[in-house]
Amino acid sequence: MANERRLLRVLDGERLSPPPVWMMRQAGRYLPEYRATRAKAGSFLDLCYAPELATEVTLQPIRRFGFDAAILFSDILVIPHALGQKVWFVEGEGPRLEPIDLSRQELQPDRLLERLAPVIETVSRVRSELPKETALLGFCGAPWTLITYMVAGRGTPDQMPARRAALADPSGVDRLVDVLVDASIDYLSAQLAAGADAVQIFDTWAGALDDTGFWRFVIEPTKRIVAGVRARVPNARVIGFPKGAGGHLPAYVRETGVNAVGIDWQASLDFVRDSVQPQTAVQGNIDPLHLVVGGGALDAAVDRVLDRLGEGRLIFNLGHGITPDGSIDNVARMLARVRGGR
């Protein structure tokens, strides 16, 4: 009997038409109901750690749009926070962290799952309330992307602080990678045990690395995470998203064993079709700006993805998260076109 959750069928090897669709950051500031819930929570981290409110936020885009998957509402920086690094969010500016001392690394991995218990509770709550046909995705931030924040204390344009640290103190960065790989395995395995159908590994800053760095800090840690999770949860479904990977995508897929790979909007669709999609399902890759502008440009972008990638295994998505100024009407227009309205 076919799985009712269409996204899982694609992850398991089927091609479906129309493809399943969800949207990175689909639970977020572009929705008025999110903003109302967010106002009740206090800080952003308070919202991440409040199971009742985080469950509500996760379900909001499913109620409004009927996406084929819900993704847990949380943040990639809950892992550094749960390891004991000071993390906070500045309204309108984003995350701030107390930069880690690579020589000391006074982290507390033994308390990780204790501190993340409210997030795991949210996974269980969401699964119990989702429609049976809707997949539930958990996630974590990949080690390299977490390191860029942990070292610099904030987002930076070119990730130079972390890149410099990797050259100046390679053993210190390697030790931090090891801690984050183990933490990711623990965290993702717990999400799957709590009811997530699949998990995604977000490597937002993978594209900042050179060839050597990409293999060392993106491919190898991801390979270890996937293997570690599957050692605990056999046949666990994992989506990788190495944003900016470009020509590294085929090697990333081959070496890590992910069930699908996210494609950012800068990737060549012909390259993805010919060199990546034969290996695995692909996910993406609409530029989120199209959901701000809409109109014919959005229609054309949707059609390009469906025409170039629709003959293979495809999960329709964006090339990164929807921005706060994305339009609800444009999301509805995109969904209608993907589902047969063009």
Mean per-residue pLDDT, 182-211: 98
**Does pLDDT of 1 surpass 70?**
no
Percent of the chain scoring above 90 in pLDDT:
95
Catalytic residue among 5, 9, 25, 337: 25
- 5-21: per-residue pLDDT in tens? 999 999 999 999 999 99
What's the CATH fold of domain 6-341?
Answer: TIM Barrel (3.20.20)
Question: Would the pTM count as exceeding 0.85?
Answer: yes
Q: What is the mean pLDDT of residues 95-106?
A: 93
pLDDT at 183 over 90: yes
149 in active site: yes
Catalytic annotation on 38? yes
Tokens 């969800």 — which residue? 22
User: Is-catalytic flag, 75?
Assistant: yes
Phi, psi of 238 (to 5 degrees): -135, 130
CB 122 within 8 A of CB 72: yes
When pLDDT is cut at 50, 70 and 90, the band that residue 207 belongs to is: very high
Q: What is the pLDDT of residue 327?
A: 98
- Give pLDDT, residue 161: 97
CA dist list (Å): 331 to 81, 100, 108, 122, 298: 33, 39, 41, 26, 10
Quick one: tokens of 147?
Answer: 């390191």
Q: How far apart are CA 302 and CA 286, in angstroms?
A: 7
Question: Catalytic: 237?
Answer: no
pLDDT averaged over every residue in the chain? 96
**115 has catalytic annotation:** no
CA distance 226 to 258: 7
- Pick the catalytic residue from 5, 6, 38, 308: 38
The whole-number average pLDDT for the span 151-180 is: 96
Name the catalytic one among 12, 15, 46, 75: 75
Task: Give domain limits for the chain.
Answer: 6-341
Please state the rounded mean pLDDT for residues 310-318. 98
